[in-house]
Amino acid sequence: MSKDERSICVLRKVVLDGFLIAGLTVCLFAMKLLWEPFHRGFFCDDESLKYPYHENTVTTPMLRSFGLGLPFLVVLVCEWIILRKEPSDTKVFGLSIPTWIRGLYCTVVAFGLGALFVELATEIAKQVIGRLRPHFFDLCRPSIDCSLPEWRGRYVLPSEYYCTSNSSQIEDMRKSFLSGHSSIAAYSMVFLALYLERRMTWRGTRVLRHSLQFSALMISWFTALSRVSDYKHHWSDVLAGYSLGVVFAILVVYCGIDLVQKKKNHIIVPQNDVYVIGPTHA
């Protein structure tokens, strides 16, 4: 294969990756805008839907900053430290591509695709299930009077009520299952912990690596727990979201990433220089 053919192959790969990521992003936004969630009814005596509305402890911008920015920053630093001195064997139309850039690209693209897969799976679950959030009564204020005997102990159909509140979050109120904050936080932080396990090879101390891994996991754990304490999700929604994120993180790290390995200079010892040391005989 000629140099130009290799350059075209590399360029084709980058373009295809870009189109795939862009296409999945468009699908995600279209799903959120055009797909109306399933309208589910409720029971008037359902205590799990009567919690007060509470603002987010971990906001969506905070989740994006930590969930996407922190793994990217760590991968950037690790790949640069590990591969910065490695000679480059990849050229695109005569332009040499540093090895650490190639390593960064492979890891970040795999991480980004995994994040999009998690978000798509999460959004599909939200739209299909349509589970009501714990603050349903506080936010919706249904048009029926639940104190009347006719509504007690029976399932209120979606066609039998409407929300009297003017809140802009009426549609989002039907997206409790599964927790998107939990799935994204679990995916990104578990991915980061597993990446450090495979990539952080400094032998000076293991405490640093394990401390970083623990910190990443605690960020995701705190995010997941806050969704319950903020009355945004039921505990089962959080458990399902967290499990989804963990599964995708494991699959992406062990099946979807081609880490650029650091080349080691192996010194071959000539056979005539190898001596067998044994006991000396007088």
Cβ atoms 176, 237 nearer than 8 A: yes
Residues 105, 107, 109, 111, CA torsion sign: negative
Q: Residue 42: phi, psi to the nearest 5?
A: -160, 170
Residue 237 and residue 27: Cα distance in Å, rounded?
Answer: 23
Length of the chain: 282
Annotated active-site residue 54? The verdict is: no
* Residue 212, both tokens: 């970083």
Annotated active-site residue 233? The verdict is: yes
DSSP assignment letter at 142: B
Residue 180 and residue 60: Cα distance in Å, rounded?
Answer: 10
- Of the residues 39, 210, 233, 281, only one is catalytic, namely 233
Helices (H) and strands (E) in the chain, counts: 8, 4
- Of the residues 39, 135, 181, 210, only one is catalytic, namely 181
| Phi-psi sector, 141: left (phi>0), alpha (psi -120 to 50), beta | left
Which residues are catalytic, by number?
Answer: 181, 233
